[in-house]
Amino acid sequence: MTGCNDMKMGQVYTCESCGLELKVLKECKECGTEAPTEACGCAQGCSFDCCGSPMTLRS
Protein backbone atom coordinates (compact mmCIF):
# COMPACT_ATOMS: atom_id res chain seq x y z
CA MET A 1 0.00 0.00 0.00
CA THR A 2 1.30 3.44 -0.92
CA GLY A 3 1.78 5.86 1.96
CA CYS A 4 2.28 9.60 1.73
CA ASN A 5 6.02 9.26 2.39
CA ASP A 6 6.32 7.02 -0.73
CA MET A 7 4.79 9.64 -3.04
CA LYS A 8 7.26 11.93 -4.83
CA MET A 9 6.66 15.30 -6.48
CA GLY A 10 5.38 15.00 -10.05
CA GLN A 11 4.16 11.41 -9.75
CA VAL A 12 0.58 10.63 -10.81
CA TYR A 13 -1.53 7.99 -9.01
CA THR A 14 -4.55 6.50 -10.78
CA CYS A 15 -7.70 4.62 -9.80
CA GLU A 16 -7.89 1.64 -12.14
CA SER A 17 -11.70 1.45 -11.77
CA CYS A 18 -12.87 5.01 -12.47
CA GLY A 19 -9.76 6.68 -13.88
CA LEU A 20 -9.42 9.38 -11.20
CA GLU A 21 -5.85 10.73 -11.16
CA LEU A 22 -3.96 12.47 -8.35
CA LYS A 23 -0.73 14.37 -9.03
CA VAL A 24 1.73 14.92 -6.17
CA LEU A 25 2.38 18.66 -5.86
CA LYS A 26 4.12 18.62 -2.47
CA GLU A 27 5.98 15.78 -0.73
CA CYS A 28 5.21 14.66 2.83
CA LYS A 29 7.90 15.75 5.29
CA GLU A 30 6.15 14.46 8.45
CA CYS A 31 6.91 10.75 8.25
CA GLY A 32 9.09 8.23 6.51
CA THR A 33 12.81 8.66 5.98
CA GLU A 34 12.99 12.39 6.82
CA ALA A 35 11.21 12.14 10.18
CA PRO A 36 10.47 9.35 12.65
CA THR A 37 7.21 7.43 12.09
CA GLU A 38 5.81 8.63 15.43
CA ALA A 39 6.02 12.23 14.13
CA CYS A 40 3.49 11.46 11.38
CA GLY A 41 0.30 13.50 11.71
CA CYS A 42 -1.86 10.83 10.08
CA ALA A 43 -4.29 9.51 12.68
CA GLN A 44 -4.70 6.02 11.17
CA GLY A 45 -1.80 5.85 8.78
CA CYS A 46 -1.89 6.91 5.16
CA SER A 47 -4.10 5.17 2.67
CA PHE A 48 -4.87 6.36 -0.84
CA ASP A 49 -7.83 4.28 -2.01
CA CYS A 50 -10.55 4.91 -4.59
CA CYS A 51 -13.47 2.66 -5.53
CA GLY A 52 -12.38 0.25 -2.78
CA SER A 53 -8.86 -0.37 -4.13
CA PRO A 54 -5.45 1.24 -3.62
CA MET A 55 -4.48 3.85 -6.20
CA THR A 56 -1.51 2.86 -8.37
CA LEU A 57 1.44 4.82 -9.71
CA ARG A 58 0.98 5.64 -13.38
CA SER A 59 4.02 4.69 -15.43
The full set of domain ranges for the chain reads: 1-59
Q: Indicate the DSSP class of residue 50.
A: E
- Half-sphere exposure at residue 48, Cβ-oriented, CA atoms within 13 angstroms: 20
pLDDT attached to residue 43: 61
* Full-model pTM: 0.74
SS3 state of residue 41: coil
Alpha helix ranges (H) inside the chain:
none
Whether the pLDDT of residue 46 is over 60: the answer is: yes
Q: How do residues 11-40 score in pLDDT, each as one tens digit?
A: 999 999 999 999 999 988 776 555 455 556
pLDDT attached to residue 9: 94
Pairing status of strand 56-57 against strand 12-14: antiparallel
Spatial CA neighbour of 22 closest among 2, 40, 39 = 2
pLDDT attached to residue 56: 93
Whether the pLDDT of residue 5 is over 60: the answer is: yes
